[in-house]
Structures are given as structure tokens and as C-alpha cells.
Amino acid sequence: MSTLSHGLSWIDLKFLGRPSAIAAGIVQSPGGVALVDPGPTSCLAALELGLQWHGVRWDEVRHILLTHIHLDHAGATGTILRAHPHITVMVHERGVQHMVEPARLLKSATRLYGDQMDRLWGEFAPVSHERLVGLVGGERIEAGGRVFDVAYTPGHASHHVSYFDASSGVAFVGDTAGVCVGEGYVLPPTPPPDIDLEQWKMSVDRMLAWSPSTLFLTHFGPVTRVRPHLAELLDHLQLTSDAVRASLNEPGSDQERSERFAEWLRQELRGHMSEAQVDGYLLAAGFRHLWFGQARYWRKRGL
């Protein structure tokens, strides 16, 4: 169940003790192992258990490939490197400085998560500059005994990259292909601060240009119905963005607008799944945060 292709597998990190919220990718070969988005430090014990289960020792892990630096994807990286300083970390060049000095990133995340930061994510330790390789997209890199094409895929985050292994057809796309649990609703995660709808659409084209047979989503796992999935992502990006735009003209505070949006989204999801499944989506994407990310985007455009 957790195998994508020969040598490619993944681990359910059991975020907050719940299944199907955050997944980490593993690329294994006799020549070394790479991890794709190791997840937050709060899930490190689950990551280590998963690696053991896959027969991976830390001294075999040579690379960590980060799609972006959000805490649920990259949070454990510094903690891992403190114990295993031989590992090289690949990240978009705009993310490099935040990995070296995470203070600004943590301040921005604290605005969203407040006093829940530690419970949700745990430590975000800095990574030393010499262990980081900055990417811009367009590179071809070797990791875990494979060659990956790197594409710049902003929209969800301005420093987001995706990794494609042509030999298996698997594309590790982080959050750019949305949140989708159990082949259900495809929800675009749109938290602040750098949602960009035009760039996101271009990133979808970039992913399609690879003609991948599988998209690997951090939230959650492999998707093989690639084209319908991405079409649904774009539809729902339009739908949620129309809802946020309309709400900007409604009376009340942003707090009230975001709460109304969260309730509307909850109803929208309820039309497609059970209440427990809706709660699963909430774990991967706080619904009120999604309003704030899109509202920021539209207001920058003068709405």
C-alpha cells in the first residue's frame, strides 16, 4: 500500500495521531536514500519508525528534497541534520535563507497558529548554509539513485518546487496539486502569505507537461487520475476564489468573513463526504486560513 514503484515508497506520518494527513516520500537505492518532505518535528518518531520499517538507516540517507519550507513539510529538517549532518538538503533558492535563519518564517507561522505552534509542529531548527543546495527549477538532480527533473511550481508558495522521476512517472508535487484524501474532493490549500492564482495555473501546466502517471501529494499520498485531479483542482481554485472575492464586499470584519467562508467550505465538503472525512481535510488545511491567503491575493490586486 505504501509503495509507489520499485524503490519509491512513502510513510504516513500520523500527524496528531491521525492517519492520512501528512505523508513523506522515500527514494531508495543501493547507492543511497533520499527523503521528500520529511514533515514536522512533531512527527519525527513516526518518520523514524517508518524508515525502520522500510529498512532504511539514517547513514544511508544522503538527500532531503523539500518541495517548500512550510512547517508541515520541512519542519523536521534541522532537527534531522543536527543528528545526521552528512545529509544534503535541496530547496528552492528563496527558501535557503529561511532554513538557515527560520525566525521570520516562524513569526509568520505564529500569526496563523498562535500558542499551538509547538503542539502542532515541534521544533524548527536551523540548517547550516553549507548543507543546503538552492534550486530555481529546470535542474536535473540525482538523489536516491535516480534522476529527478525539478520544476518551479509556485502558486501555493512562492518558493515551491516539484520533483519528477521520469523512470517511474512519479511527480512529487508537495501542495501544488492540492489536498485530496482517499480520492475525494480536491481542495486547493491557500494559506497566506503568497497565494498567486495565475502562477498556480502555470504550475499546473508545468506538472502536466511531464505527463506523470502518479502525483504524490503531501496531503495525502499517490493520485493516479492525474488529469481529472488537476482539472478539479483548477475548478475548486476558481470556486473558492469566487467565494472569497464575493465575501470581500460583505459587511463585517475579516474574522467574520473568514468564519463564514470556513462554514461555507465545510458545507461544500459535506456534500461530498462524511463529517469525519471533513475533519481530516481540516487537519491538512485550516479552512479560515484559506480565506486569509486568497483575501491577501485579491487585495494586492486592489479589490
194 binds Zn ion (CB under 5 A): no
Please, which residues have CB within 8 angstroms of residue 84's CB and are 6 or more apart in sequence? 58, 59, 61
CB of 68 to Zn ion, least distance (A): 6
Query: Cβ–Cβ contacts within 10 Å for residue 178, how many?
Result: 28
**Interhelix angle 197-209/226-248, nearest 10 degrees:** 180
196 binds Zn ion (CB under 5 A): no
Closer to Zn ion by Cβ: residue 12 or 175: 175
Which residue bears the cell 499520498?
221
CB of 157 to Zn ion, least distance (A): 6
Give me the residue whose beta carbon is nearest to Zn ion. Answer: 70
Site string (17-36) toward Zn ion, x via CB under 5 A: --------------------
CB of 45 to Zn ion, least distance (A): 22
70 binds Zn ion (CB under 5 A): yes
Closer to Zn ion by Cβ: residue 40 or 212: 40
Give the single-character DSSP code of 279: H
Residue range at the interface with Zn ion (CB under 5 A); choices 45-53, 62-70, 223-231, 245-253: 62-70
Site string (136-175) toward Zn ion, x via CB under 5 A: ---------------------------------------x
CB of 160 to Zn ion, least distance (A): 8
Q: Give how many residues touch Zn ion by CB under 5 A.
A: 2
Task: Kindly list the strands in the beta sheet with 8-12, ordered across the sheet, starting from the edge strand earlier in the chain.
Answer: 3-5, 8-12, 23-29, 32-36, 61-65, 88-92, 132-135
Please state, in angstroms and rounded to a whole number, the distance separating the CA atoms of residues 33 and 15.
23
CB of 106 to Zn ion, least distance (A): 15
- Cα-based torsion angle of the residue sequence 82, 41, 293, 252 in order, rounded to the nearest 10 degrees: -130
Report yes or no: 214 and 227 within 8 Å, Cβ to Cβ. Answer: no
Q: Is 260 helix (H, G, I), strand (E, B) or coil?
A: helix
CB of 259 to Zn ion, least distance (A): 22
Residue range at the interface with Zn ion (CB under 5 A); choices 63-71, 76-84, 260-268, 287-295: 63-71
Closer to Zn ion by Cβ: residue 175 or 194: 175
- Transcribe 20-65 into DSSP letters: SS-EEEEEEETTEEEEE----GGGHHHHHHHHHHTT--GGGEEEEE
- Footprint of Zn ion (CB under 5 A): 70, 175
